């Protein structure tokens, strides 16, 4: 196991962080704007989000670089700023972590499908390599390839991340199929675990999706399908309309109540995705510390 991970996991399950997009919105990010751009235009606000998670108890925080690959950034006219955005994102999280937490930089999907031919493997390879390199230069302790729906793309991203020598986490979204246990492209947890481990992932897992309860069986299957530690970062359910506003109904307590079950199902890293915030991390930390 990568020494960074060995050290991290030595004292039991690790609490990661929560959602970044909604936190930035609360600080003024307009819906539809590229959050990653704030690494350059509003670095203090991005640092505030990072610090909030560190203070809430996250042992690993991510970075505001989810869309910072050349393909996704092209949609915002920012493809020319890949290196700057990633370096800045990693640096901001590192400074905020200040030795109290590790920084695993976020690498999200390109948004284009290999299968329709709207993007080629070579384009993705070069985009993820450029991003991974810049994140490593910015000071990331690890790389988190996340929210992947297409195994073929995930494999390319993992290989690119692995080339940096940093530990690599690879997580996919399992929200399709009769049992909501497959990716959009039909990949099972077993197929994902095998392929991602073979591509070099040090940690495998699931994130986003439709809530923490649904990920218990997925977690179990990922754990059984490889010898890699499992990382789960679930949503706080699905949003609903309450008084004309969009609200995620899961409370931090509801969410954290399932942490022991998730750990029993084999999760070594637990955090939240859409709809979560520092309160969720606080609740998780309390539960997880209780379990250790």
Partner 1 sequence: MPELTKLYDAVLNGDAKTALAVTKEAIDAGVDPLELVTKHMVPAMDEVGRRFECEEYFVPELLLAARAMKGALGIIRPLLAAQGAQPVGRVVIGTVKGDLHDIGKNLVASMLEGAGFEVIDLGADVTPEKFVNAAKEKSAHIVALSALLTVTMPMMKNTIAALNEAGIRGQVKVMVGGAPVTEHWAKEIGADGYSENAGSAVTLARSLMKS
Q: Residue numbers of the site for partner 1 (CB under 8 A)?
A: 21, 25, 31-33, 72, 75-76, 111, 113, 115-116, 175-178, 182, 184-186, 238-241, 244, 246, 274
Cβ proximity to partner 1: between 181 and 202 the closer is 181
User: Minimum distance from CB of 38 to partner 1 (Å)?
Assistant: 14
Cβ proximity to partner 1: between 129 and 175 the closer is 175
Q: At 61, is the secondary structure helix, strand, or coil?
A: strand
Cβ proximity to partner 1: between 241 and 292 the closer is 241
| Close Cβ partners of 60 (under 8 Å, ≥ 6 residues apart) | 8, 14, 15, 16, 17, 101, 102, 103, 104, 142, 269, 271
Cα separation, 106 vs 290, whole angstroms: 28
CB neighbours (10 Å) of residue 101?
Answer: 25
User: Minimum distance from CB of 186 to partner 1 (Å)?
Assistant: 3
Cβ proximity to partner 1: between 3 and 117 the closer is 117
Cβ proximity to partner 1: between 246 and 292 the closer is 246
Cβ proximity to partner 1: between 115 and 198 the closer is 115
User: Minimum distance from CB of 112 to partner 1 (Å)?
Assistant: 8
Residue with tokens 């859409």: 274
Cβ proximity to partner 1: between 126 and 176 the closer is 176
User: Minimum distance from CB of 11 to partner 1 (Å)?
Assistant: 36
How many Å is the Cα radius of gyration of the chain? 17
The token pair that represents 209 in the structure block: 């999706």
What's the residue count for the chain?
292
Is 47 in contact with 95 (CB distance < 8 Å)?
yes
User: Minimum distance from CB of 97 to partner 1 (Å)?
Assistant: 27
Cα separation, 58 vs 289, whole angstroms: 12
Is 196 in contact with 225 (CB distance < 8 Å)?
no
Is 199 in contact with 163 (CB distance < 8 Å)?
no
Cα separation, 15 vs 281, whole angstroms: 7
User: Minimum distance from CB of 242 to partner 1 (Å)?
Assistant: 10
Q: At 107, is the secondary structure helix, strand, or coil?
A: strand
User: Minimum distance from CB of 185 to partner 1 (Å)?
Assistant: 5
């Amino acid at each position: 196991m990568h020494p960074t991970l060995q050290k991290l996991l030595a004292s039991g399950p690790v609490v990661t962080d929560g959602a970044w997009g909604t936190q930035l919105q609360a600080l003024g990010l307009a819906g539809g704007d590229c959050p990653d751009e704030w690494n350059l235009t509003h670095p203090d606000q991005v640092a505030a989000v990072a610090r909030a998670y560190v203070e809430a108890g996250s042992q690993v925080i991510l970075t505001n670089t989810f869309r910072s690959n050349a393909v996704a950034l092209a949609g915002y006219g920012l493809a020319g700023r890949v290196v700057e955005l990633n370096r800045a994102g990693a640096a901001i999280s590192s400074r905020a972590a200040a030795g109290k937490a590790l920084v695993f930089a976020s690498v999200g999907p390109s948004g284009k499908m290999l299968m329709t031919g709207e993007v080629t493997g070579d384009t993705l390879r070069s985009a993820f390599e450029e991003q991974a390199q810049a994140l490593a230069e910015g000071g990331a302790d690890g790389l988190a390839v996340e929210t992947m729906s297409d195994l073929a793309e995930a494999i390319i991203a993992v290989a690119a991340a692995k080339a940096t020598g940093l530990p690599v986490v690879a997580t996919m979204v399992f929200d399709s199929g009769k049992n909501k246990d497959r990716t959009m492209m039909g990949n099972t947890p077993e197929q994902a675990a095998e392929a991602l481990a073979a591509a070099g992932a040090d940690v495998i897992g699931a994130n986003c999706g439709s809530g923490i309860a649904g990920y218990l069986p997925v977690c179990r299957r990922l754990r059984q399908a490889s010898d890699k530690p499992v990382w789960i970062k679930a949503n706080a359910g699905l949003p609903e309309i309450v008084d004309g506003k969009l609200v995620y109904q899961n409370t931090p307590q509801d969410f954290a109540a399932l942490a022991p079950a998730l750990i029993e199902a084999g999760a070594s890293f637990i955090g939240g995705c859409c709809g979560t915030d520092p309160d969720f991390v606080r609740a998780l930390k309390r539960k997880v510390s209780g379990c250790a």
